[in-house]
Homo-oligomer: A and B are copies of this chain.
Amino acid sequence: MALTIGMLGRATHTKVETIRYYERIGLLSAPGRSGGNYRSYGEAELGRLSFIRRARQLGFSLDQVRALLELSDDRGRDCATVDALARGHLAEVERKIADLAALQRELAAMVDSCHGGTVGSCRIIEALGPTRSD
């Protein structure tokens, strides 16, 4: 069961360049080469890359993914660290949601206040300029 980089990419919905990038930054280790210097992947790499992609989809940064991978390799260890990492990320996501919600309210109010007309009297432009003197 040897995969080329293209096959691995298709299996994990990952661009070939992205896989090479992960290798370059040390998130994936360099795989074996076969025949004409092509990368050759197996089951293990498929699992690892799937893990990475799933974590990325959940919004973990590459550094967080790196930490999760390291932790997950040490199966005997207490999973409190993993839990803390996930909880931290969750808190971050919740903060972002709150920020965006505030933004959304402001934008909605801005858009609502526009009743057409010219830019000169546009409430949106007005809302952006704090002191449009003149």
Instruction: Say how many copies of this protein the assembly contains.
Output: 2
Q: How many A residues have CB within 8 A of the partner chain? A: 53
Proximity bits, A70-96, B CB within 8 Å = 1, else 0: 011011111110110011011001101
How far is B133's CA from A129's CA once the two chains are assembled, in angstroms? 58
Given A58-B103, A101-B97 in contact, is the A50-B86 Cβ separation under 8 Å? no
A-B pairs, 6 with minimum CB distance:
A75-B120, A79-B122, A90-B107, A72-B125, A79-B119, A77-B119
Interface status of A130 (Cβ within 8 A of chain B): yes
For A43, what are the chain B residues with a Cβ–Cβ distance below 8 Å? 133
CB < 8 Å neighbour of A116 from B79, B94, B107 = B79
**A124 vs chain B, min Cβ distance (A):** 5
CB < 8 Å neighbour of A124 from B50, B76, B82, B118 = B82
